[in-house]
Amino acid sequence: MSRRKVLFVTTDQQRYDTLGCNGGTLARTPVIDRLAVEGIRYERAHPQSVVCMPSRATLLTGQYPTTHGVWMNGVPLPLDAPSVAEVLRLHGYRTALIKAHFEPFLDPFLRFAENAQSRLGTRPPGGSHRGFEHLELAAHGSVGPLHYARWLAAEHPETVSGFYQALDAELSVNAQAGGDTGAPQVKVNPVARELYHTDWVAERTIAWLDSLEGDEDWFCWMSFPDPHHPWDPPQSEVARIDWRDVPLPPGFPPSVAERDQIIEGKPRHWRLWYEGSLVSNSEAPARWVPATLTTDQVREVNARNAVECELIDEALGRVLRRIEERGWGADLDVFYTSDHGEFQGDFGLLFKGPYHVDALMRLPLVWRPAPSSGPAPAVVKRPVGLLDLAPTFCAVAGVESPGWMDGAPLPTDDRDAEARGFDQVVTEWDSELLRVAVHLRTDHRDGLVCTAYDPGTVHDGTEGELYSTLEDPTQSVNRWDDRAWRSAREHLLEVLRAHRPRPHVPKLHLEAPV
């Protein structure tokens, strides 16, 4: 491949089926849908972790969580960790990071470089941070130490109280309810659309692009805080989708009896969380009981989530128009994905956690190569991982992938995927949240999802999950103990054992709750 510019777009906690190109019918996403038609759409892209910080660290390093060491939220990625941005910078690329961060957010004493950086401006000391020469950081909402929250408090203080106070909710472990249905972490937010973080990320990206000379090569990671909970988009936009008209998702069992039966067939932490007696999830309210979730609450959450997806699509459209105006369109590769998914009512649940099913594991991934020299449009059905993105960025830049990357450049069609051995993808989970230890390893291969549980607080190492995504797309029937599936289970377990990533030594410490 010849050397090209790269716009890397990520969202936070977005499901595969929220895009029109992936069969979604609720949110209108014409910009991303057009990129998918012009480029390569991946039908089975999985993260290597279904929680924020480990997954973002994988995107930056091209490594498994076990290898880069960020094994759960609250574990900071070491400052000397490898970075694809640094590789590109050393090969002459201008580099920028808008929004994403790799260190704990709950940091009142500003121990971590990224939180402290927000007080210093946009240029890191020494010229770069993790390979990025320009940083403008944000989290969801108006609270915290990052650039967006500081800008909002300084320039528009009247808007701060309108946001759902997610940090307060994290500390007081409640599930503040709102909206029309009393859904958890839903709030009416009177903030003007142009002050909301989605438009802020787009405008800051455009401002950085406008600072560049026309002939410079660049890599820009533009990361949106949405559609991660809390669900508090600008109220002026909420009427786009009336929650009363939103159908229940296929993964939401319509009756309590059906939900009970499905959850009973899964490992025991599913049931314990559903009933509210155990929390092993990152960022889920500790005092919310999923069994209380109503059908109307599911509808309202999904409506607001879809509004947030539409705002992202429109913001991306503005950035792409500015890129065209700068004359870079023919020389630009665009990548679009998310760090992990969201339950959105599947199994009667919201949020995320140690649950390796498609709601959290199957992600949107679109690569629109530069029209001037990219491969032909295609749909790739074979499995790929987010750890394959960093090597792909290197390939686009004409740079050899470093040996520390665990992934490989993304295939450009299924024939290419088959020839290069893209036949499985592994996802990990390790956590010790609230003194509850949960450890999972999952392999997706040949339409089967096999999850093995290591011993933990409520698991003895014998439990697991096995689903056929072809026969059981909602993953409602656990075949782990089914004699007819024993041979397939043992084969997949052997594959998992053979693909254990190399561990980070020493083990990194948990530094903050989030």
pLDDT in tens, 176-216: 889 999 999 999 999 999 999 999 999 999 999 999 999 99
Kindly state whether residue 504 falls inside one of the protein's structural domains.
no
Kindly state whether residue 503 falls inside one of the protein's structural domains.
no
pLDDT at 167 over 80: no
Nearest 10 degrees: CA dihedral of 92, 96, 102, 103?
110
Buried b (16+ CB within 10 A) or exposed e, 405-419: bbbbbbbbbeebbee
Q: Are 271 and 277 in contact (CB under 8 A)?
A: no
Kindly state whether residue 250 falls inside one of the protein's structural domains.
yes
CA distance 3 to 42: 23
Q: At what angle do helices 197-210 and 295-325 cross, to 10 degrees?
A: 10
Total domains in the fold of the chain? 1
CA 67-418-23 angle, 5° bins = 85
pLDDT at 421 over 80: yes
Cis peptide before 227 (omega within 30 of 0): yes
Q: Are 12 and 221 in contact (CB under 8 A)?
A: no
pLDDT at 377 over 80: yes
Kindly state whether residue 404 falls inside one of the protein's structural domains.
yes
Range of the domain at 395: 5-498
Residue that is written with structure tokens 């003895």 in the block: 460
Nearest to 86 by CA among 51, 59, 60: 60
pLDDT tens digits for range 74-110? 999 999 999 999 999 999 999 999 999 899 988 888 9
pLDDT at 1 over 60: no
Kindly state whether residue 514 falls inside one of the protein's structural domains.
no
Kindly state whether residue 507 falls inside one of the protein's structural domains.
no
**Confidence at residue 374, expressed as pLDDT on a 0 to 100 scale:** 78
CA distance 404 to 83: 10
pLDDT at 174 over 80: no
Kindly state whether residue 392 falls inside one of the protein's structural domains.
yes
Question: Which run of H or E residues covers position 311?
Answer: helix 295-325
Q: Looking at residues 381-391, what average pLDDT do you find? A: 98
pLDDT tens digits for range 58-79? 999 999 999 999 999 999 999 9
Determine what percent of the chain is predicted with pLDDT higher than 70. Answer: 98
More confident residue, 225 or 169: 225
Question: Which run of H or E residues covers position 171?
Answer: helix 166-172
pLDDT at 347 over 50: yes
Write out the two tokens for 311: 């705002």
**Alpha-carbon distance values, 65 to 50, 58, 101, 426 (Å):** 11, 6, 16, 11
pLDDT at 341 over 70: yes
Question: How high is the mean pLDDT of the chain?
Answer: 95
CATH number of the domain residue 151 falls in: 3.40.720.10
| Residue 170 pLDDT grade (very low, low, confident, very high; cuts 50, 70, 90) | very low
CA 194-198-199 angle, 5° bins = 35
Q: Where are the beta strands (DSSP E) in 181-276?
A: 183-184, 218-227
CA distance 439 to 267: 12
Q: Looking at residues 324-345, what average pLDDT do you find? A: 98
| Residue 286 pLDDT grade (very low, low, confident, very high; cuts 50, 70, 90) | confident
**Confidence at residue 40, expressed as pLDDT on a 0 to 100 scale:** 98
β partners of residue 9? 222, 336
Q: Are 56 and 339 in contact (CB under 8 A)?
A: yes
Kindly state whether residue 506 falls inside one of the protein's structural domains.
no
CA distance 25 to 38: 20
pLDDT at 169 over 70: no
**Confidence at residue 475, expressed as pLDDT on a 0 to 100 scale:** 98
pLDDT at 412 over 80: yes
Start-to-end CA distance of the chain, whole Å, equals 39
**Confidence at residue 448, expressed as pLDDT on a 0 to 100 scale:** 97
